[in-house]
Amino acid sequence: MAQSTPQQTLQRLRIIVAIQFMGATLGLPLLPLFLEHRGGTPTVIGLIMASFFFAGVISQYFFGHLADKFGRRPILVLSLIIYAVASGFYIMPMHASWFIVARIFQGAAAGAFEVASLSAVAARFPEATRGRAMSQIIAAQLLGIAIGPMLGAIVTVSQLGWAFFATGVVSLVAAVVTFSVDLGDRAYDPTPLPAMTWNPQLIGALGAACAAGISIGVYETCWSLLMHSHHASTFQIRLSWTLFCLPWVLLSPLGGYIADHWNRRYVSVLGILGGAAFMATYPHIHNNVVMLITGSCESIFSALSVPSISSYLTQGADNREMSRRQGVYTTANTATLAVAATISGSLFSHSPALPFTIAAITAGALAVASFITWRQVPGRVKTLLP
């Protein structure tokens, strides 16, 4: 088995995760136009875009089960290879409808990658420092998402296929690097996996995952439409995503510290409620500069609370169930995201405020449900490091 200290594992995973998420978001702003140039109708384009998320919904728990059974490293390497091969399809002269295959494999690979990387960090760090470790992986994801779309601005529609191809090459390099990373796998154990414990920690975290998924789904579909209705420029729309991500990246270490030293229950719930409050206000803000500033303020709540939610997810879990827990969590998150993204467009057409208001109320209700579920769960880890 490859040997590395927990900190070495964390640093290598941070680099791999940041590059992977940067590559995954590099071409997203132009992907619908790319598919349109390949003969895709709006219906076909919508189906192709949605297939990425639905592939993740179907596969994430499955890959979590495999990671618990056979180890995280094989799953992480396999996911990077699958993503690389699927990315190579974009340079081929195919009709748009064929790209649904590439998006399905990319979605499944991205889901497996997320499950394996996050459960690896949970396995390598004790609960007393897990919040800080998880926050750095989440920050790496957001850093990639912040940089990717901005770099994508220099890529034209005709060059997009080669941009995806380059992303695939980077994924293959990351797969090679992963062979030297200790992901917390133990020697292969042929005995049956222990049953996954459906305890209050996990159930409450699933409520938080659904709240986040609903919010992200609405933002995916309606945020750009809302800003456009307020006469925002294309640059302002791109900038809004970056300005949301950057405070999160900068404050994630603080969020990790809070998760390890404060009461995770209160921090998690306040973060969800804060996000719901911001979502409810956006349709009523008609100044784009204020929208940009408010979006950055919302990310502060997320940065300070998400590490606590992630720590709750694996609190008290056995090593051989962490990947399945992560798989269930990401499945719940991706499923609600896909549903919210699908229906929020039609709600927006009736009233721009409608999807944001419904999502805010739903997220708030889920926050209360999670708080009640966690009421008997210790919010603080007993043994804390300085």
Instruction: Encode pLDDT of 234-293 as tens digits.
Output: 778 778 877 888 888 888 889 999 988 899 999 999 999 999 999 999 999 989 899 999
Residue 49: predicted pLDDT: 75
pLDDT at 361 over 80: yes
DSSP 315: T
pLDDT at 367 over 90: yes
Pick from 157-161, 247-251, 358-362: least confident? 157-161
3-state secondary structure of 383: coil
pLDDT at 21 over 90: no
Q: Which fold is adopted by the domain 200-376? A: Growth Hormone; Chain: A; (1.20.1250)
pLDDT at 33 over 80: no
Rounded CA separation 302/223 (Å) = 17
Residue 2: predicted pLDDT: 56
The tokens 């995973």 sit on which residue?
13
pLDDT at 57 over 90: no
Q: Where are the domains of the chain?
A: 6-178, 200-376
DSSP 335: H
Residue 386: predicted pLDDT: 42
At 194, the pLDDT band (50, 70, 90 cuts) reads: confident
CB 129 within 8 A of CB 260: yes
Residues 122-158 have pLDDT tens digits of: 888 888 888 888 888 888 888 888 787 777 667 777 7
At 3, the pLDDT band (50, 70, 90 cuts) reads: low
Residue 271: predicted pLDDT: 94
Residue 328: predicted pLDDT: 94
pTM: 0.82
Length of the chain measured in residues: 386
Residue 385: predicted pLDDT: 43
Return all residues near 48 (Cβ < 8 A) that are at least 6 apart: 35, 40, 96, 97, 99, 100, 103
Higher pLDDT: 356 or 157? It is: 356
Estimate the crossing angle of helix 160-178 against helix 6-26, to 10 degrees.
170
Residues 166-184 have pLDDT tens digits of: 888 888 988 888 887 888 7
Higher pLDDT: 89 or 187? It is: 89
Higher pLDDT: 309 or 241? It is: 309
Q: Which CATH number fits domain 6-178: 2.40.50.100, 3.20.19.10, 3.30.200.20, 1.20.1250.20?
A: 1.20.1250.20
Rounded CA separation 318/324 (Å) = 11
Same fold, 6-178 and 200-376: yes
What average pLDDT does the structure give for the chain?
Answer: 86
pLDDT at 109 over 80: yes
Both ends of the chain: CA-CA distance in Å?
Answer: 31
The share of the chain scoring above pLDDT 70, in percent, equals 95
Residue 382: predicted pLDDT: 61
Higher pLDDT: 382 or 269? It is: 269
Rounded CA separation 23/163 (Å) = 8
Which alpha helices (DSSP H) does the chain contain, by range? 6-26, 31-37, 42-70, 72-88, 99-124, 127-152, 160-178, 200-218, 224-229, 234-261, 264-281, 288-314, 322-350, 353-373
